[in-house]
Amino acid sequence: MIRLSLLQMQTAGADTAANLARIEQAAIEAAEAGATLLLTPELGVTSYGGGQAILDLAEPADGEIVSCLGEIARRTGIAIVAGFAEKADGAVYNSAVYTDGVARPSIYRKSHLYGDYERGLFSPEKPETCVFDHHGIKLGMLICYDVEFPENVRRLAQAGVEMVLVPTATPMGASGRFIAEKMIPVRCFENQIFIAYANNCGRDGDFAYAGQSVIAAPDGSVLAAAELTEALLTADIDPALYAGSRSENTYLDDL
């Protein structure tokens, strides 16, 4: 079992120092609540709505952003998943990093870019199975639009992942509500896994976000959910509690 905290966050736009300070404060609060892992939104460090300015903020995986996140993790004793613009091999990716400040960070790059805005800024990565262990639980990562493709979640579930961490920047509107309230619990149920879906909130550039971050369980139940404003959600993730659900809903075995 692990205890997970999720930060639904209003970014300070392209002010990476302010965004990192906000994440650090949330890490302190999450650690005080007994969590060992903090999940934050898509591009939460460099902002989603910054447009072309994001390209100037992009850094390699061994740059200052990931180093700073690792230092926050070391100081607070809590691992962090955070979204940032990653520069690599002459391209810029919409990426997320898992770091505990000790082991080598795990990096995931978004494969399914949404709309002309994202395609004008980032390069897509081929769909990949990013899997790592956290306190005995096997975790995977996707970013926002990626989770809306059932193949991506199923691939991780077939790799033995027990929980998928999803930084997101879902816009306000009916579709955003549907994804958070309906799609995420269904993805959990059809794969018998947990999903934590961490959204931005408020406004950032031309974007207004849906909020409504959610942590859902293998039986489709919601363990914690936010509304529209900043929030820090915390939930216990215990796969053993859902053995009954797995025995009744044997989708992975019956493929």
Task: Report the pLDDT value the prediction gives residue 37, as an integer from 0 to 100.
Answer: 98
- Provide the 10 A C-beta neighbour count for residue 114: 17
Facing residues of 97 across strands?
Answer: 82, 107
pLDDT at residue 103, as a whole number: 95
Cα-based distances in Å from 137 to 73, 134, 222: 18, 5, 19
Compute how many other C-beta atoms are within 10 angstroms of the C-beta atom of residue 130.
Answer: 20
**Is residue 125 among the annotated active site residues?**
no
Instruction: Considering the candidates 68, 130, 144, 188, report the single residue annotated as catalytic.
Output: 144
Instruction: Give the Cβ contact number of residue 71 at 10 Å.
Output: 14
In CATH, what number is assigned to the domain containing residue 81? 3.60.110.10
> What is the rounded distance in angstroms from the CA atom of residue 123 to the CA atom of residue 143?
14
Q: Measuring CA to CA, which residue among 160, 244, 210 is closest to residue 48?
A: 210
| Torsion on CA atoms 240, 5, 111, 59, rounded to nearest 10 | -140
CA distance 82 to 42: 7
CB–CB of 65/48 below 8 Å?
A: no
Q: Is 110 a catalytic residue?
A: yes
Structural domain span for residue 216: 2-254
Instruction: Look up residue 39 and give its two tokens.
Output: 């999940």
CA–CA dist 147, 133 (Å, integer)? 20
**Has 42 been annotated as catalytic?**
yes
Coil/strand/helix, residue 180: helix
Full pLDDT tens readout for the chain, 255 residues: 999 999 999 999 999 999 999 999 999 999 999 999 999 999 999 999 999 999 999 999 999 999 999 999 999 999 999 999 999 999 999 999 999 999 999 999 999 999 999 999 999 999 999 999 999 999 999 999 999 999 999 999 999 999 999 999 999 999 999 999 999 999 999 999 999 999 999 999 899 999 999 999 999 999 999 999 999 999 999 999 999 999 999 999 999
Kindly list the distances between the CA atom of residue 154 and the CA atoms of 146, 187, 251, 254, in Å, as whole numbers in the listed order.
12, 9, 10, 13
Give residue 32's pLDDT. 98
Amino acid at 212: Q
Give the chain's domain count: 1
Q: Which of 24, 110, 148, 188 is catalytic?
A: 110
Q: Helix 16-32 vs helix 64-76: angle between axes, to the nearest 10 degrees?
A: 20
So what's the pLDDT on residue 241?
Answer: 97
Contact (CB, 8 A) for 144 and 171:
no
- Listed residue (200, 80, 183, 90) closest to 141, CA to CA: 80
Q: Which is the catalytic residue, given 42, 59, 118, 125? A: 42
